[in-house]
């Protein structure tokens, strides 16, 4: 009655074979294209004036692998105020963070809006190793302007929290812990974020760029300020809570009710950040 293979109807064998082949193709495709899902660079090159920070200077930062990257910087306008190095998330340009820079500039701080390879018209393509090189080069440039150690605040936004966390660990390892670390919508690792979005895939086996902040956070002694929304469907708040629990004191978290992924930079939160930076912990 049925064509069968060891008692299994042939149509069933064909069905399950098709499912297995489709799944294998999906896994291979996701592995090959994973950085297209992780990074969404905009090649548009904005100007400081267009972004609401006309006094910021366009600078060129050279990485250890020879890339010349655009970034923006402005020194502190009030003596004794620190520099804030801002590492943005996985999409857009540094220009779309001009409003964030302005808040700290208005408080008299210096600001370096760092930019990554492949973003804002910069050469290269983003990878975890590449973004770390970009950040190191930016901080080396800033150190020559006096922005290092207790005169430096590291601000990470979304994917940039992985960069800021890693840079804070490296600074501590060099005996120059930074003044403050600010993490906006952070994660434990991109593996955990990816597994949440793609539970049907073996993300832990496939992920190349892992940004493992959870394993690093314990090595940061600098005061930590963290903000995360409970309606964040991009990076679930539970990951921010897990990261915060693993962090050392002193630390402060603002768990925002009704807030998503991109609406955390409010006057209330920025005032709290500036106050936190000014405290002697």
- The total domain count for the chain is 2
- CATH code of residue 252: 3.40.50.1820
**What's the whole-number mean pLDDT along residues 58-65?**
98
Q: Please indicate, yes or no, whether residues 46 and 86 belong to a single structural domain of this protein.
A: yes
**What's the whole-number mean pLDDT along residues 183-207?**
96
Q: Please indicate, yes or no, whether residues 171 and 229 belong to a single structural domain of this protein.
A: yes
For the stretch 216-256, pLDDT in tens is: 999 999 999 999 999 999 999 999 999 999 999 999 999 99
Q: Please indicate, yes or no, whether residues 11 and 116 belong to a single structural domain of this protein.
A: no
Q: Please indicate, yes or no, whether residues 123 and 22 belong to a single structural domain of this protein.
A: no
Long-range pairs for 63-66: beta carbons < 8 A, 24 or more residues apart: 63/117, 63/133, 63/134, 63/136, 63/137, 64/133, 64/136, 64/137, 65/130, 65/133
Q: Please indicate, yes or no, whether residues 132 and 182 belong to a single structural domain of this protein.
A: yes
Q: Please indicate, yes or no, whether residues 111 and 233 belong to a single structural domain of this protein.
A: yes
Q: Please indicate, yes or no, whether residues 143 and 260 belong to a single structural domain of this protein.
A: yes
Distant-in-sequence, close-in-space partners of 120: CB < 8 Å, separation ≥ 6: 41, 42, 43, 44, 45, 46, 70, 93, 94, 95
Q: Please indicate, yes or no, whether residues 124 and 10 belong to a single structural domain of this protein.
A: no
Distant-in-sequence, close-in-space partners of 139: CB < 8 Å, separation ≥ 6: 85, 147, 148, 152, 167, 171
pTM comes to 0.94
**For residue 109, pLDDT beyond 50:** yes
Q: Please indicate, yes or no, whether residues 108 and 135 belong to a single structural domain of this protein.
A: yes
The residues that bridge with 5 in the sheet, in sequence order, are 8
Q: How far is CA 197 from the centre of its chain?
A: 17
- Tokens at 102, concatenated: 């302005």
Q: Which of the two residues, 280 and 207, has the higher pLDDT score?
A: 207
Q: What is the percent of the chain with per-residue pLDDT over 70, rounded to a whole number?
A: 97
Q: Please indicate, yes or no, whether residues 31 and 112 belong to a single structural domain of this protein.
A: no
> Which residue do the tokens 């840079």 mark?
167
Q: Please indicate, yes or no, whether residues 61 and 169 belong to a single structural domain of this protein.
A: yes
Q: Which domain holds residue 30?
A: 1-38
- Tokens at 34, concatenated: 């994973």
Compute the distance between CA of residue 280 and CA of residue 278 in angstroms, rounded to an integer: 7
């Amino acid at each position: 009655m049925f064509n069968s293979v060891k008692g299994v109807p042939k149509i069933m064998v064909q069905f399950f074979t098709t499912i297995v082949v489709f799944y294998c193709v999906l896994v291979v495709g996701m592995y090959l294209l994973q950085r297209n899902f992780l990074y969404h660079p905009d090649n548009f090159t904005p100007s400081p004036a267009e972004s609401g920070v006309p006094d910021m200077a366009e600078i060129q930062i050279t990485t250890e692998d020879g890339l010349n990257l655009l970034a923006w910087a402005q020194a502190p306008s009030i003596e004794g105020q620190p520099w804030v190095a801002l590492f943005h998330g996985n999409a857009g340009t540094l220009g779309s963070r001009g409003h964030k820079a302005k808040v700290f500039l208005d408080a008299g701080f210096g600001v370096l809006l760092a930019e990554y390879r492949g973003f804002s018209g910069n050469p290269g393509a983003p990878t975890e190793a590449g973004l770390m090189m970009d950040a190191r080069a930016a901080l080396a440039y800033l150190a020559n302007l006096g922005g290092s150690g207790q005169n430096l605040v590291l601000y990470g936004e979304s994917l940039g929290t992985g960069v800021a966390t890693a840079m804070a660990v490296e600074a501590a390892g060099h005996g120059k812990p930074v003044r403050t670390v600010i993490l906006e919508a952070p994660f434990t690792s991109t593996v955990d974020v990816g597994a949440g979005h793609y539970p049907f895939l073996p993300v832990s086996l496939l992920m190349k760029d892992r940004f493992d902040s959870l394993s690093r956070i314990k090595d940061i002694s600098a005061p930590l300020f963290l903000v995360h929304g409970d309606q964040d469907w991009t990076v679930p708040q539970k990951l921010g809570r897990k990261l915060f629990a693993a962090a050392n004191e002193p630390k402060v978290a603002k768990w925002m009710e009704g807030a998503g992924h991109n609406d955390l930079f409010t006057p209330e939160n920025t005032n709290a950040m500036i106050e936190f930076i000014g405290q002697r912990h």
